[in-house]
Structure 1
Amino acid sequence: MMSLQASCDDLPTSLILIDDQRHILGHCKLSRIPRIPHSCFLESVVIRKSMRGKKLGTYLMEQVENYCKHVLRLKMVHLSTRGQEDFYTKLGYEICEPISIYGGSTISYKAPITNDKSQPPKLTSSRNETIPPPPPMPVPQKINNVVKSNMTYMAKKFS
């Protein structure tokens, strides 16, 4: 209950669908996509099992999109799904490239800076013996910037 009271009109946030008696019928979570600031990632879309098949998922999605467009002022929504592609396609979502909600997706390598490359530093033991330097660290090979997943990624642009 504390997280609902502390909720604000910013991301991340959770939205809940309740009935007239304040029973929770559905829930979803919206998170930032650091590399796509005009979009958010919709995750954890859930409708109570006993209430499925009553168009509440469609209603929740319509309300989520309205919130994203008019309150958060976003231009699109991204999501991932496994097995619900037809549901989201009917709502106007299209398959897209996988995305990461964890920030930067590339890894870079910088070699350590040394003053004198001709003479590696000498290490000595407690017995004043010279210890050979460790071998150089391997240089990372080019990393393919592809997110591998068994999920289908989808997005919807708002008009």
Structure 2
Amino acid sequence: MTASPTPKTAAADWLRLDNQVCFALHAASRAFNGVYRVILKDLGLTYPQYLVMLVLWEQGDLPVKQLGEHLRLDSGTLSPLVKRLEAAGLVRRERSARDERSVWVRLTEEGAELRERAGEVPRRIAAATGFDPAEIGELRERLDRLTAALDAASVTTSAQSAESE
């Protein structure tokens, strides 16, 4: 990867693909997905399904809406994931007795038992990165800061856009 452009760099250099942070994150995400695909095959999960299971293993039963909030997914994306997990016998969906509009996602016994088999996944992913635990922690902290900054910028940009209309 080339060095980041400086203020003196020609404007065209700012538009080089290898100078885009978003592309570096995209490429890393695709590479992670490839490694996860291989590792999760033994569990019978895709990467997005694994994320759903992580939340349920950590939080327990949740309404679909809250599950989506944890994963930053809308219901249109989340619903097919949950349906496939239900078809695999790992979760079940149930309408709330108090509010028929609310659907809860609950682990089945098989889904809860899968947690133990999944215990090796983080270690294998960490090994694939070649990073030590401190480096992984530092990267995670920086990505969390980046996400928070971009979330804030998105809100600000949306508000400015609404004002100009």
Which structure is richer in relative contact order (CA contacts within 8 A, separation 6 or more)?
1
The structure whose residues are more often strand, as a share, is 1
TM over 0.5: no
Relative to the length of structure 1, the TM-score reads 0.23
Higher share in helix: 2
